[in-house]
A and B are shown apart, each in its own frame.
Chain A
Amino acid sequence: MATRQTQGLARLMRAPAIILLFLWMIVPLGMTLYYSFLNYNLLNPGMTSWAGWFNYQYFYSDPAFFAAIWNTLVLVLGVLAITVIGGIAIAMLIDKPIWGQGIVRILVISPFFVMPPVAALIWKNMIMHPSYGVLADIARFFGASPVDWFAQYPLTSIILIVAWQWLPFATLILLTALQSLDTEQMEAAEMDGAPAHARFLYLVLPHMARAITVVILIQTIFLLGIYAEILVTTNGGPGFASTNLTFLIYRAARLNFDIGGAAAGGIIAVILANLVAIFLMRAVGRNLD
């Protein structure tokens, strides 16, 4: 099929698209890398000079740095745990034929259509607010004192909000996987004497392994960059309790106008994302074969 001539021609025809993609990736990355070695502050843009590794040292010695990396990992893993486990549970519930199935499925999926800042504001002002939030009303009804979610459990609150947004995505992907499960296999297992939990463990979970992998990989990409929910709720606080790496970079760039420092943070974030990606592909990537 592929003779030497057609291979050469194919390479030539592919080249424009690949070169464009490469530039699209390498130019911003190169500029970020370049800025990260500059003393470049928007308050004083004329005084740009070569900084060497100073920006990295500065970012590294920032007391918020390790807190931000830790918060990033907790946020990603926490949301992944809630969405994968919850997604499997909800998918199995709405996979069963029930009355009003269509409406139930639309309701389950709808949080995904709400924009992140809007969702975060709704949670902040209508659900988790310590004086007029729904959770506060419920706490008072039972005679307990209301919880000030964003002051007492800032990171947990953000994990809950983000998990609420991503649960529909996980549910949708896992539901389609569940629907492709062969019913005769389940019946065969039933005749083989497998109770419901064994059928789940030996048939349903292995069948969904690939879909779970897809959910984990795609969500990780987006969860590493969570930003809007933090901005409109806790603003990274109290202290640095809910600051993740993305938000730390935002602070450097937009609050301190320190372009060099923000660029250095960006490069660190890219390295962290790649580390997470390598770890994930090792851990779950073989399910994609």
Chain B
Amino acid sequence: MGQITLQGVAKRFGEVEVIPPLDLAIDDGEFVVFVGPSGCGKSTLLRLIAGLEDVSGGRILIDGKDATDASPAKRGLAMVFQSYALYPHMSVRKNIAFPMKMAGVPQDEQNRRIEAAAKALNLTDYLDRRPGQLSGGQRQRVAIGRAIVREPAAFLFDEPLSNLDAALRVGMRLEISELHNRLKTTMIYVTHDQVEAMTMADKIVVLQAGRIEQVGSPLDLYHSPRNVFVAGFIGSPKMNLFSGAPAAEYGAATIGVRPEHIRISATEGKWKGRIGVSEHLGSDSFFYVEDTGLAETVTVRSTGEVNLHHGDTVWLTPDEDKIHKFDKNGDRI
């Protein structure tokens, strides 16, 4: 079980309101990702749920029970930290055993769970090493192992992949997703990387300045962003946002078109421009088109190989029914 409900949870540091009161429901077994730019309060929100920070208002319910004033240990949640926070003078085995030792789990049960976790995480050969002798990815797995053996109601991940290199990050992303599929335990995952959010989440919570901008499945957010912020934040490369005359044509203050919803042509189209930078990846081609009069650069993505290069004059045509329209407050029309 791992159902977490936030009711009017708020956090103030002195006079500064970091998180205005917010409500959020997380269902049992869900993989929820908190995503937002740095300083948006996503880590603070996670620490409030973990109990490492005290709430300034509101209630936190875990499995229907009020856990607002419970100590972190009593909430039955396990956390994986950005720095891994392994105990440097203990072997991997002792690191993983530590929470069970504190809980007074019998020795043979401890060993059984350690073996199981080590096998699942490919750590069997490293059990007697110290954290200092492991690579970044291995340390990350030890931290996850230490969380798994507690059999928690929910896992909390605080930007766990940001200290890893790009290739390792993709691998660990898959491992965490597989872990979630196997354990079916609630996971709350904090990241600033929208690609991690899109690939892993059942439900994404987009945060900005402590406020929840939108909650929904990755494709909900992609297809119908509720406002300009979510539109610009979700999707890579970013959505093109135009305001002024081209938007007024569609009866909106701002319009947004994703790079994959613009057709590029050397001969005809709606908007004229000149290619600044072109990136040819084989499977995709990206063009950064300048001098369109719409925005500084317009990003265009087309599939396959397109024979257009720097300096070429091109015409752009948006996919009319994929245009997102926003009013002057930035909300979706």
Residues of chain A at the chain B interface (Cβ within 8 Å):
182, 184-185, 187-195, 198, 202-203, 206-207, 209
Contacts and interface: CB of A to CB of B under 8 A. Distances in A.
Given A202-B87, A202-B98, A203-B87, A192 B150 contact: yes
Contact of B72 (A182, A191, A207, A209): A191
Contacts of B77: 191
A96 B92 CA distance: 30
Q: How large is the interface on B (under 10, 10 to 19, 20 to 34, 35 or more residues)?
A: 20 to 34
B295 interface: no
B103 interface: yes
Nearest to A190: B72
B83 A191 contact: no
Contacts of A195: 102
A126 to B, nearest CB: 45
Contact of A191 (B79, B82, B87, B89): B79
7 contacts: A182-B85, A187-B52, A188-B85, A190-B71, A193-B73, A202-B87, A202-B90
B89 A206 contact: yes
Interface string B75-117: 0011101110111111000000011001100000000000000
Contacts of A193: 73, 99, 102-103
Contacts of B90: 202
B102 A191 contact: no
B247 to A, nearest CB: 46
Contacts of B99: 192-193
The 9 A-B pairs of least Cβ separation, nearest first, read A193-B73, A192-B99, A188-B85, A184-B85, A206-B89, A193-B102, A184-B81, A191-B72, A185-B85
Contact of A190 (B52, B82, B88, B103): B52
B50 interface: yes
Interface in B45-60: 50-52
B102 A194 contact: yes
Contact of B83 (A182, A202, A207, A209): A182
Contact of B73 (A192, A207, A209): A192
A195 to B, nearest CB: 8
Given A190-B73, A202-B87, 15 more contacts: A187-B72, A187-B79, A188-B85, A188-B87, A189-B87, A193-B73, A193-B102, A193-B103, A194-B98, A194-B102, A195-B102, A202-B90, A207-B88, A207-B89, A209-B89
A192 B85 CA distance: 12
Given A182-B83, A184-B81, A184-B83, A189 B98 contact: yes
A210 B289 CA distance: 60
Contacts of A184: 81-83, 85
B258 interface: no
Interface of B is mostly: loop
A215 to B, nearest CB: 18
A192 B146 CA distance: 9
Contacts of A206: 89
B67 to A, nearest CB: 13
Contacts of A202: 87, 90, 98
Contacts of A191: 50-52, 72-73, 77-79
Contacts of B50: 191
Contacts of A198: 102
Given A184-B81, A184-B83, A187-B52, A192 B89 contact: no
A205 to B, nearest CB: 10
A198 B99 CA distance: 11
A202 B91 CA distance: 13
Centre residue among A184, A194, A207 by max chain B CB count within 10 A: A184
A28 B98 CA distance: 55
Contacts of A188: 79, 81, 85, 87, 146
B172 to A, nearest CB: 18
Contacts of A185: 85-88
Nearest to B73: A193
Nearest to A198: B102
B210 to A, nearest CB: 21
Contacts of B51: 191
A206 B88 CA distance: 9
A206 to B, nearest CB: 4
A226 B204 CA distance: 68
A222 B125 CA distance: 47
B287 to A, nearest CB: 43
A209 B99 CA distance: 23
